Chain A
Amino acid sequence: MIKLIAAAAVAAALHITPTVVLVKRPDAVKTLLPGAETFFANEVHLSGVDAHRLHEAVDWSPDDGVLTFYTGKQGQRVVGSLVFVRVDTPHGPIEVAVGFGPSGTVSGVILTKATVETKPWVLEALRAGLTDAYRGLTPGAVPAGAAAIASSVATLPHYMAEQVDKGVARALAAYGAFYKVVGT
């Protein structure tokens, strides 16, 4: 009986809860590309070699091998670009929107999706100032948002912050390697 109860507890613990939208994608785009009037989806269909290179760098491959950079323009001026990155965790996926300014540095990071279970942990990490640590990062930099808030959050919010670090690292790698082929 104890084994049965333990098995049920393990099964319940492994159960991934549904996804919740923290910030709608259009709202994230408007925030990360302020003042933009027109938007473009730049879909980079990665070659096998490039997809392998990205996977080797950050242990990640975008869905169907397609990286999508969204670019915002005000008139002919490029306001910036952003990419949505999904990170799968044992507690379900999260989605991170990483914005880049015209100079190629991170202009902001927004958590757009979490799960019913992870939402409170993510919100605690955000309240601790997690995304502040990413501003100004350039491709090649190592995101350290989790370390920045380690002393002010509990274990699980810190763990989620590490997952956000992972998402930002993927965005930086993708931007550094492939955004130049997009052109503007």
Chain B
Amino acid sequence: MIYDLRRVDVAVKWLVSCLLATFGIAYMFGAWMVGLYAGFTPKSVAATYAEPEMAMHMPPDTSVVVRRQVTLGELAATDEQHVVDRDLLVQDTHVHVPMYGVIAAALSLVALGLPLARSGALALITLLFAVPWLDFAGMWLTKLASPRFAAVTLLGGWAMGAGYTVVTALALWHMWKPRKGAST
């Protein structure tokens, strides 16, 4: 243990608690946003990130018209869901991955102050940094390889929730649990 969160000044404990609470709020809104635009099922995530079928478009020699009757229900189906194309995913990756890294680093610093075995700390830090890797690897593989990789993105999302929950629960417990004879 590089430092001990249990024995730091109360101001540092408060700082860490506020940081974790702020991350928690951000994560809740992040989950809300995911629910709005990508969903939580492999199917909906694949629909968001998979590349459209690459049918070879060959224009006809002369313009032709194909007419078919449609219902309003079919028109509703053309209100296609939010789709992230390749250019947008490049931008998303560029913007999000560094921030994910900063958050993982901050949570890792908190984890370093917890009374964990070395293997436990290594596992927790790996879990925290697995979030951007899994999340964006899943998105890119869904786009470039197969829609089945949407499950990897979902795994990244769950890893994010799990990592945050574990660090927060352990940190709050160890920082604020009543101790016999302690004045703080």
A interface with B by C-beta (< 8 Å): 8, 11-12, 14-16, 18-19, 21, 24-26, 29-30, 38-48, 50-51, 64-65, 70, 178, 181-183
- Report B-chain residues with C-beta under 8 Å of the C-beta of A26: 72-73, 75-76
How many chain B residues sit at the interface, stated as a range, is 20 to 34
Choose one: B60, B63, B69, B95; the contact of A12 (CB below 8 Å): B95
Residues of A within 8 A of B33 (CB): 18
- On chain A, the residues within 8 Å of B70 by CB distance are 39-41, 70
Cβ contact within 8 Å between B75 and A70: yes
* CB within 8 Å of A: which B47-71 residues: 55, 57, 59-71
Q: List 12 A-B contacts (CB under 8 A).
A: A11-B94, A12-B95, A21-B79, A26-B75, A39-B70, A40-B68, A41-B67, A43-B65, A45-B65, A47-B62, A181-B65, A183-B65
- Report yes or no: B63 in contact with A25, Cβ–Cβ below 8 A: no
**A46 with B59: CB separation less than 8 A:** yes
How many residue pairs link A and B with beta carbons under 8 A? The number is: 83
User: Using Cβ atoms and an 8 Å threshold, which residues of chain A touch B64?
Assistant: 44-45
Chain B positions 82-97 with a Cβ under 8 Å from a chain A Cβ: 82, 88, 91-92, 94-95
* Residues of B contacting A50 in the complex (Cβ-Cβ under 8 angstroms): 63
Contacts of B78 in A (CB 8 A): 25
How far is B90's CA from A11's CA once the two chains are assembled, in angstroms? 11
Interface-central residue, B37, B68, B70, B94, by most chain A CB under 10 Å: B70
Judge whether B36 and A18 touch: CB under 8 Å. Answer: yes
A14, B93: Cα distance in complex, Å: 12
In the complex, the answer to whether B88 meets A182 with C-beta atoms within 8 Å is no
> Knowing A29-B75, A45-B59, A64-B57 touch, does A19 contact B69 (C-beta < 8 A)?
no
CB 8 Å contact bits of B3-46 with A (1 = contact, 0 = none): 00000000000000000000000000000010011000000000
| Complex: chain B residue closest to A183, CB-CB | B65
- Shortest C-beta distance, A20 to chain B (Å), equals 9
B61-A38 in contact (CB<8A)? no
Distance in Å: Cβ of B16 to nearest Cβ of chain A: 24
Interface centre among B59, B70, B78 (most CB of A within 10 A): B59
Min CB distance, A118 to chain B, in Å? 14
Whether A182 and B65, one on each chain, are in contact in the complex, defined by CB atoms closer than 8 angstroms, is yes
Given contacts A19-B82, A40-B69, 12 further A-B pairs with CB under 8 A are A15-B95, A16-B88, A18-B82, A24-B79, A26-B75, A29-B75, A40-B67, A41-B69, A41-B70, A42-B67, A47-B61, A182-B67
**Smallest CB-CB separation from A71: which chain B residue?**
B67
Query: In the complex, A8→B60 CA distance in Å?
Result: 46
